[in-house]
Structures are given as structure tokens and as C-alpha cells.
């Protein structure tokens, strides 16, 4: 019942309505299947004994009514019954096929919608949330576990309901015709499958948990291996990563196989019991009627019903087993969906521009689940259209200040104000539209250099003039025009492998400038570059228009030499501030 509630929880209201419609189709299908099986009995009765038309009141009434269809004798009536049986079976199969198509389409749409929902929710979570999650874990959920929840959770649940309806209608039919053997068959098969399930349910739960864990490790190892491919090659770590991947992949493959074997294994054992049981039913019916010809319609009815009941019982057991296996994956998806912060549907079309000053007032910040205070009572004022440097040792809080200015982190105390306007959750998007950001490590996709500069913009919507203007300011246009074979249409390879470090940084600067920001932040964007390359990148920064505010976070003091004002950070507080020349007289870092 808990899994049923969780599956319902992950469905939208529209999907729940569709599932009710599907339930109605399932009930109709089960009824048609029962009618199709039931129609065999009168046909076989007339086939084995044509005189039964005279002795059986129901058949006699139907025989007389069939005159309107031009039926003249018992032979034509028998043919007429055969046609009805065939039509009922065909109708049942057609409706069954239609129901199956609806089930498959419903499951596929749910999987698509759920995957879209998760990537949308993940991408819209606060930045601090992502700091505690591994990208492999998120990728696993979107690309793998949602598929597991649908294929091993939602689909088996639909199958379970469908087959329960089929069993209920067929057992009801058999009870009406001959209650004793029907009850024995239903109870016997039900008890056998229930006993098998009870014996292995703890094993199924264990397999589900270990499968989930090993799948997560597979994703992590793949991301780590290709993310650090250069270091892996230099340090000859290929075998170590292969062995690690092999270990978890083997566990995953083993449990995937178990997940497929366990639900179907009892079928072969029970088929033998079913055939033996069918012989006993035939003998029982023959003894009860004392006449094989009289027993034959009942025998055929039970044969047809058994032909449908055995797979139905097997599918119910298989569905329950899969629901048990999917438990850990379902719990993971359910908990994420339940605990993620809701997405704001309101799109703020305004833009908050920096025209006078950016002010941080009494900022206090510490990371979640960490007792260490990173920033404490920090005050900072940055005049518009100035070039500002922020320096300090590792761990002094430089990047944290930038993340607060960017709106990625929210201070526990204090405010961020732009031209006197307080920035909060309602207007943070409007403020971020004015910001260009260049990180230390530039992410480049395996796409054209043009698409990387206009990152995230659909190709048909790229402003080519803005791309070229940004590239010129970033000292990149000459390189693109003279050295790249397809110029702005040249593909860069995965992670921009075809570019040097300085070229990647200049692509990052061009990307930040593409949207014409009022504030440009370079977060240690030159720290990994050699002196010559850094000089070229800083020339690009110095080319920028005077109507833009620049904040430089740096380890190297040469990076901030041309700033109008430099703030020296120490243990989350501003120790000194001033020009490069002023600080060289009072601070040991500049001496």
C-alpha cells in the first residue's frame, strides 16, 4: 500500500485522471474476456449434443430468437453460435490490444514527464543545495532510476490491477458454472504464489538496495574517469578505474539478472502443477456428470479459463516481486520529489542595473551543516563603473562573497543592495540578468565556438553580431578568423579540448560579455594561466567599456594592479583596502 501511495504521489492530477480512464478500460477488457470464455460453453454444448437446444431453456429461447437472422435449423444455429464465439474472442483481443497500447503510451508519457520534472527541479534548486549532491547521483536519477520506477513500478502496478480484474471475472464465471473446483483452483494458486513471495521478499528488498547503490557508483566512476582523463593517463590509473567500475558493474549486472529471473522462475514449476491439476479437474467433472459428452463443454470452459488464469497468476506474482525490487529506487525518487523546493512559475521580466553602487551590509554567512563562519559582519561598497579587486589567502572568503553577490548563496544575516534596492528571492533573477560571470574553470560544450559564446541560446536565436562584438572585446576575433578552419562554426571538441587555456578563458569572457552585462565578475579566472597568457587575458579585460563594473578575484597581485580599489580579505573580514600602491606600503601580501 505504501508503494501504491508513492506511485500516486509522483503522478500529476492529469495523469491520475488518465489512470482512472485506464482502469475503466481494464475492467471492460476483463468483462469482455469473461464473456468471450463464457460463450465457448453453449457452443460446445450444441456441438457435442445438438438436442440440448430443445432441452436447455436458455439455448432454446436463443435458438427461436435467431430466426430473425435467417436461421432455419440446428446446423445453421451451431454455425451461428460459432460465429458469435469467434466475434466475441476477436472483440476481446482487439480491446485487449487497445488497452495495452494505452498502458504503454501512458507509462512512456509518465516517464518523459517525470524525467523533465526532475531535471527542471534539480536545475532550479538553490546553489547551496547542489553543493551537497554529486552530479552522478543526479544523472543516475534522471537517466536511470526514473526508468526503473516506471518499468518496475508503474507498469507492474498497472499489470497487477489488470490481471486481478481478469482473475476476478474468470473465477466468478467458474464459480457460477461449478463452484467447488473453481474455489479450489483460485485458492490453491493464490496460496502458492503468496507463499513463494513471502519466502523471497527480504531477498528482493536487498537486491533492490544493492542494485541502486552499484548503479550510482557506476555513474560516479564514469564521470570521475573522463572528468580527470589527463591525470588518469599521466598517472597510469586506467586499470584501477576499470577494476573499480568492473566491481560495481558486476554487482549491478548480477542484480539486474536476479530482478528478471526471480519474477518468472515459479512459472515453470507451477505449469507442471497446472497441467496435473487440469487432469484432476477433467476427471472430477467426468465423474460428476457420468457422461463425457456432457462434461466436455465444462472441460473446455475450464481449459480456456485455465489458459488465461495461469499467466494472470504469474503476472500478478511477477508484478508484486518487481514492486518489491523497485522499493529503494521508488523511495529515492519519491523523497527527492517530495523534498525539493517548488519552482517559481513567475518570470520576472525586469532588469536591475547597477548604475550607482553595489553594497553589502553586515553580511554573515556559514555553509549548511558547518560550524565555521566564513563571513562575519562584512561591509563592502563597490561604486559603479569601477574596476575592483578582491584578494586574500585560500579560505579567506573571496569566492563566497562573489557567490552572495551573484545570488547563488543567501547570507544568514545582512543584505545585498543595488543602487539602494535590496536583492531578495523575488527580484534575484532581475539582478542576475545584469551580471556576466567568468569562473576559474570554463565549461565548454562539444559545439561550435559561436554556440559556446552564446551559451544556452538556441542556434536559430543566436545574435551573430553580438557574438562577434563580444569576441573582439575579448581579443578572440583575430584567432577565430585567421586560425580556425570554419571560423565561428568550428567545433571545439568535448570540454574545449582543441583550445589552449588562455583561449578557453577568453571564450569565457566573450560568453560573459555576450548579453552586455553591467557587472562583470572574474572569479580567479587567470589563476591557472601562465604569465604570458594571463597578460593576454587581462588585456582583453582592460579593453572593456568604461560603462561596466568589474570585480576581479585573484591570487596573483599582478591581476589586480590596475584596479581603482582593492580589498584584502582575511578570515571573512576586510583587513585593508586601497589602490595597489597604497596597499604595497601597509600590507605584507603586496611587498
| Three-class secondary structure assignment of 351-402 | CCCCCCEEEEEEEEECCCCCCCCCEEEEEEEEECCCEEEEEECCCCCHHHHH
pLDDT tens figures, 350-369 = 788 888 888 888 888 888 77
- Which residues fall within 8 angstroms of residue 42, CB to CB, at 6 or more apart? 58, 59, 62, 81, 297
pLDDT at 19 over 70: yes
- Under the banding of pLDDT at 50, 70 and 90, the label for residue 103 is confident
Out of 339, 370, 403, pick the residue that ends a domain: 339
Is position 144 within any domain?
Answer: yes
Q: Could you tell me if 365 and 334 lie in one domain?
A: no
Residue with cell 512559475: 345
Q: What is the pLDDT of residue 65?
A: 74
Q: Could you tell me if 332 and 454 lie in one domain?
A: no
Q: Could you tell me if 362 and 332 lie in one domain?
A: no
Q: What is the pLDDT of residue 133?
A: 74
Q: Could you tell me if 285 and 373 lie in one domain?
A: no
Q: Could you tell me if 371 and 436 lie in one domain?
A: yes
b/e 533-568 (16+ beta carbons within 10 angstroms → b):
bbeebbebbeebeeebbbbbbbbebebbbebebbbb
Is position 76 within any domain?
Answer: yes
Out of 311, 339, 367, pick the residue that ends a domain: 339
Q: What is the pLDDT of residue 150?
A: 86
Across 51-60, 109-118, 305-314, which has the greatest mean pLDDT? 109-118
Is position 24 within any domain?
Answer: yes
pLDDT tens figures, 280-329 = 666 665 666 665 556 666 666 766 776 677 777 777 777 877 777 777 88
pLDDT at 341 over 80: no
Average pLDDT in the chain: 78
pTM of this structure: 0.69
pLDDT at 530 over 70: no
pLDDT at 230 over 60: no
User: Percent of the chain beyond pLDDT 70?
Assistant: 81
175 or 349, greater pLDDT: 175
Is position 345 within any domain?
Answer: no
- Under the banding of pLDDT at 50, 70 and 90, the label for residue 343 is low
Structural domain range at position 157: 2-339
pLDDT at 263 over 80: no
pLDDT at 346 over 70: no
Class of residue 372 by CB neighbours under 10 A (exposed 0-12, middle 13-18, buried 19+): exposed
pLDDT at 578 over 60: yes
Q: Could you tell me if 54 and 193 lie in one domain?
A: yes
pLDDT at 381 over 80: yes
Judged by average pLDDT, the poorest of 337-346, 408-417, 504-513, 560-569 is 337-346
> How many domains is the chain built from?
2
- Interatomic CA distance for residues 294 and 48, integer angstroms: 8
Q: What is the pLDDT of residue 370?
A: 76
Out of 339, 369, 391, pick the residue that ends a domain: 339
What is the average per-residue pLDDT within 68-77? 72
pLDDT at 236 over 80: no
Nearest one of 137, 138, 104, 140 to 124, comparing CA atoms: 138
Nearest one of 542, 483, 481 to 467, comparing CA atoms: 481
DSSP letter (8 states) at residue 327: H
- Interatomic CA distance for residues 84 and 71, integer angstroms: 13
302 or 503, greater pLDDT: 503
- Interatomic CA distance for residues 450 and 557, integer angstroms: 32
Across 335-344, 429-438, 492-501, which has the greatest mean pLDDT? 429-438
- Residue 463 belongs to a domain with what CATH number? 3.40.50.300
What is the average per-residue pLDDT within 18-23? 86
Class of residue 457 by CB neighbours under 10 A (exposed 0-12, middle 13-18, buried 19+): middle
- The three grid cell numbers given for residue 244, joined into one nine-digit string: 573499480
Q: What is the pLDDT of residue 360?
A: 87
384 or 297, greater pLDDT: 384
Is position 297 within any domain?
Answer: yes
Amino acid at each position: 500500500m505504501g508503494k501504491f501511495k508513492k506511485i500516486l504521489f509522483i503522478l500529476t492530477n492529469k495523469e491520475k485522471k488518465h489512470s482512472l480512464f485506464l482502469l475503466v478500460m481494464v475492467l471492460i477488457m476483463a468483462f469482455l474476456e469473461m464473456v468471450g470464455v463464457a460463450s465457448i460453453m453453449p457452443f460446445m454444448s450444441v456441438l457435442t449434443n445438438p438436442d440440448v437446444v430443445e432441452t436447455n431453456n436458455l439455448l432454446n429461447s436463443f435458438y427461436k430468437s435467431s430466426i430473425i437472422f435467417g436461421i432455419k435449423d440446428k446446423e445453421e444455429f451451431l454455425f451461428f453460435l460459432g460465429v458469435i464465439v469467434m466475434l466475441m474472442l476477436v472483440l476481446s483481443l482487439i480491446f485487449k490490444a487497445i488497452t495495452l497500447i494505452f498502458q504503454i503510451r501512458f507509462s512512456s508519457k509518465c516517464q518523459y514527464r517525470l524525467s523533465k520534472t526532475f531535471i527542471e527541479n534539480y536545475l532550479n534548486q538553490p546553489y547551496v543545495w547542489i553543493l551537497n549532491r554529486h552530479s552522478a547521483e543526479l544523472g543516475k536519477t534522471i537517466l536511470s532510476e526514473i526508468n526503473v520506477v516506471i518499468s518496475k513500478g508503474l507498469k507492474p502496478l498497472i499489470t497487477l490491477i489488470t490481471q486481478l480484474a481478469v482473475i476476478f471475472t474468470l473465477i466468478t464465471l467458474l464459480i457460477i458454472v461449478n463452484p467447488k473446483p473453481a474455489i479450489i483452483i483460485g485458492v490453491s494458486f493464490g496460496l502458492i504464489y503468496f507463499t513463494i513471495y513471502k519466502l523471497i521478499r527480504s531477498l528482493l528488498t536487498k537486491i533492490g538496495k544493492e542494485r541502486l547503490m552499484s548503479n550510482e557508483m557506476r555513474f560516479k566512476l564514469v564521470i570521475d574517469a573522463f572528468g580527470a582523463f589527463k591525470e588518469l593517463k599521466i598517472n597510469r590509473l586506467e586499470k584501477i578505474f576499470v577494476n573499480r567500475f568492473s566491481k560495481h558493474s558486476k554487482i549491478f549486472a548480477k542484480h539486474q539478472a536476479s530482478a528478471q529471473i526471480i519474477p518468472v522462475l515459479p512459472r515453470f514449476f507451477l505449469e507442471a502443477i497446472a497441467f496435473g491439476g487440469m487432469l484432476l479437474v477433467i476427471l472430477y467433472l467426468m465423474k460428476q456428470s457420468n457422461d463425457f459428452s456432457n462434461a466436455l463443454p465444462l472441460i473446455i470452459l475450464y481449459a480456456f479459463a485455465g489458459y488465461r488464469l495461469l499467466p494472470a497468476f504469474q503476472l500478478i506474482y511477477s508484478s508484486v516481486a518487481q514492486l518489491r525490487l523497485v522499493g529503494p529506487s521508488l523511495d529515492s525518487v519519491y523523497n527527492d520529489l517530495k523534498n525539493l523546493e517548488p519552482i517559481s512559475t513567475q518570470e520576472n521580466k525586469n532588469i536591475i542595473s547597477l548604475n550607482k553602487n553595489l553594497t553589502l551590509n553586515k553580511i554573515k554567512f556559514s555553509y549548511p551543516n558547518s560550524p565555521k563562519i566564513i563571513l562575519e559582519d562584512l561591509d563592502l561598497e563597490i561604486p559603479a563603473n569601477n574596476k575592483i579587486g578582491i584578494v586574500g589567502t585560500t579560505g579567506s572568503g573571496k569566492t563566497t562573497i562573489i557567490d552572495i553577490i551573484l545570488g547563488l548563496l543567501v547570507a544568514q544575516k545582512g543584505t545585498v543592495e543595488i543602487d539602494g534596492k535590496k536583492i531578495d528571492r523575488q527580484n534575484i533573477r532581475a539582478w542576475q540578468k545584469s551580471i556576466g560571470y567568468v569562473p576559474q574553470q570554463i565549461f565548454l560544450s562539444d559545439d561550435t565556438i559561436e554556440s559556446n559564446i552564446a551559451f544556452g541560446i538556441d542556434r536559430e536565436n543566436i545574435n551573430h553580431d553580438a557574438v562577434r562584438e563580444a569576441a573582439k572585446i575579448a581579443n578572440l576575433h583575430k584567432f577565430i578568423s585567421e586560425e580556425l578552419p570554419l571560423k565561428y562554426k568550428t567545433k571545439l571538441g568535448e570540454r574545449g579540448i582543441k583550445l589552449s587555456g588562455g583561449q578557453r578563458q577568453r571564450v569565457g569572457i566573450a560568453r560573459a560579455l555576450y548579453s552586455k552585462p553591467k557587472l562583470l565578475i572574474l572569479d580567479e579566472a587567470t589563476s591557472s594561466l601562465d604569465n604570458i597568457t594571463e597578460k593576454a587575458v587581462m588585456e582583453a579585460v582592460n579593453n572593456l567599456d568604461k560603462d561596466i563594473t568589474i570585480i576581479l578575484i585573484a591570487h596573483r597581485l599582478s591581476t589586480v594592479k590596475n584596479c581603482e580599489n582593492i580589498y584584502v580579505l582575511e578570515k571573512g573580514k576586510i583587513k585593508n583596502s586601497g589602490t595597489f600602491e597604497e596597499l604595497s606600503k601597509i600590507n605584507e601580501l603586496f611587498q
